[in-house]
Chain A
């Protein structure tokens, strides 16, 4: 949905990407999802008196990967700070985060909406710990606290308020989501909360330079909710202003059941977080050598790979972007092209067409495809060498998807080999001409449709196996 007429919607997004470490950011407890309550909450995670945080190297390494992937600056020295507030899911009474000196600053994410490109700059990305969970099921009118998630490493990625409208916001979130998975720092599982977005939304009249008062919307655990919440919030703010009201800066919660945002009561009182450098954690030093080692271990990034697909294979921008939406799909495509020995355009058509449809149907990633890249390449090969017609090829693909074997075996077994033998096709053409004098006359009288009907007769006589291109050519030659 576009912005209300005469208004511009301005959005900045804060993303909490859960880093895919085995252990927590400051303790050796497991980060695995779904354990029984508090069984993965160590002394550090429940903030026993006397325990101390020790930073996980894996979390830092992932932050460096991100910084390099977005072209940001990895700080040689960054500082952990305490953000002080009381909440039952925050056992220490403070969250260890980064404030004045974050681990990554700057960088950008390139998005595409409706074929046009836009670069969204990032403000910063910083390391912090996640909080636990409050379970509101009824325990005799009490709330239960599970601290398994407390201390899970997060990278908070903050964009500049450069997004205009919910579609750009969604494109940004999706691109970022693909990137963090691509570089292997986050599993991206939104149901489990591994990738969470908060949107800072404000509106202003078109042409106005000053930003409006923003509201922060939380609990956006799907791209659909992100889009709906921004649209709702923008409409709410515009209506409020047009009715003579003013927007109050506040934190709001997206309520998916009602499809609206509402004030978060627990965040009502203005906070004073009293950030200060954590005395338990000296500054984090990241050496140039470490940064270079991480750079060396980074995979080719999706943007670079997409550009390469366009340049080397002549793919369209859309094809390149779609193929690089996930690392598994891109790897699959490259494997097909390699096995097929070229013909990347056809390979792309197959991967983006039949294969993607199949993967969607099965709800699996490309690396779990029942049709291997080599098998798909075999099929592409049989189309290229004329063995299969396009229609037959789709039948073969379905059979491969059902696990019936390689393309060649299926072609033989089902008799799908295209007839391309000139002599055999000439006989079929002669037979069709002899059997359909009326069509021949019509064609000669200028009715093009009649020609197609003759082709159809030949195809029918061949049980669909005649090479349609050759049939066309033979008929044209024979009828003059």
Chain B
């Protein structure tokens, strides 16, 4: 069972607000799904290499060349808050 504390922690990691109802329905849904996927443990995967990329390819590389022009004006046209070319966020304290 997913504890309320665990749900709170997941929401914090994912930067999602806990629902106004305290998350009972959400907790129930997640429990249902996580309980169901837990059946994966039944598979005998001893010695099996995980398949992370279909076809098991290796990485193709690009040459070290500057190819991208300055497009910040186009990129920032849809930005919610910009000033002097900078994206603005509430004050960050280090």
Contact = CB atoms under 8 A, between A and B. Distances in A.
A and B touch in the complex (CB under 8 A): yes
A362 interface: no
Given A55-B59, A135-B86, A283-B58, A265 B94 contact: yes
B88 A145 contact: yes
B86 A146 contact: yes
A134 interface: yes
B84 A144 contact: yes
Given A23-B67, A142-B81, A266-B92, A56 B13 contact: no
A219 B71 CA distance: 31
A28 B88 contact: no
Contact of B90 (A28, A142, A279, A283): A142
B40 to A, nearest CB: 16
A56 B62 contact: yes
B86 A28 contact: no
B36 to A, nearest CB: 21
A57 B61 contact: yes
A89 to B, nearest CB: 8
Contact of B75 (A43, A142, A272): A43
Contacts of B75: 38, 41, 43, 46, 48
B53 A282 contact: yes
Given A88-B89, A143-B91, A272-B13, A41 B58 contact: no
Interface in A49-72: 54-60
B41 to A, nearest CB: 19
A220 to B, nearest CB: 15
Size category, A interface: 35 or more
Most buried by A among B13, B15, B59: B59
Contacts of A48: 75
Interface stretch (A29-37, A159-167, A201-209): A29-37
Interface residues of B, number: 36
B72 A39 contact: yes
B46 interface: no
Given A265-B94, A266-B94, A39 B85 contact: yes
Most buried by B among A28, A147, A253: A28
Nearest to B15: A86
Nearest to A141: B91
Contacts of B64: 21-23, 56-59
A39 B66 CA distance: 13
A282 B87 contact: no
The B interface, classified by DSSP as helix, strand, loop or mixed, is loop
Contacts of B72: 37-39, 41
A143 B89 contact: yes
B83 interface: yes
B3 interface: no
Contacts of B92: 88, 134, 136, 143, 266
A456 interface: no
B88 A142 contact: yes
B33 to A, nearest CB: 18
B88 A22 contact: no
B86 A145 contact: yes
A144 B88 contact: yes
B59 A282 contact: yes
A143 B15 contact: no
A317 to B, nearest CB: 38
A30 B75 CA distance: 17
A281 interface: yes
A186 to B, nearest CB: 14
B59 A30 contact: no
A88 B87 contact: yes
B46 to A, nearest CB: 19
A309 B45 CA distance: 58
A114 B52 CA distance: 51
Interface in A117-150: 134-136, 139, 141-147
A105 interface: no
Contact of A282 (B58, B66, B83): B58
B56 to A, nearest CB: 8
B21 interface: no
B11 to A, nearest CB: 12
Contacts of A27: 68
Contacts of B38: none
Interface of A: 21-23, 27-30, 36-43, 46, 48, 54-60, 77, 80, 84, 86, 88, 134-136, 139, 141-147, 253, 264-266, 269, 272, 274, 277, 279, 281-285
Given A39-B85, A46-B75, A58-B64, 16 more contacts: A22-B66, A27-B68, A29-B66, A37-B85, A38-B86, A43-B68, A80-B59, A84-B13, A88-B89, A139-B88, A144-B87, A146-B86, A253-B94, A266-B93, A282-B59, A284-B58
27 contacts: A22-B64, A23-B67, A28-B62, A29-B66, A36-B85, A37-B84, A41-B75, A46-B75, A57-B61, A88-B87, A139-B83, A139-B84, A141-B90, A141-B91, A142-B88, A143-B92, A144-B83, A145-B88, A264-B94, A266-B92, A266-B94, A277-B53, A279-B53, A282-B59, A283-B58, A283-B59, A285-B59
Q: Which 5 A-B pairs have the closest CB atoms?
A: A58-B64, A28-B67, A144-B86, A285-B58, A42-B68
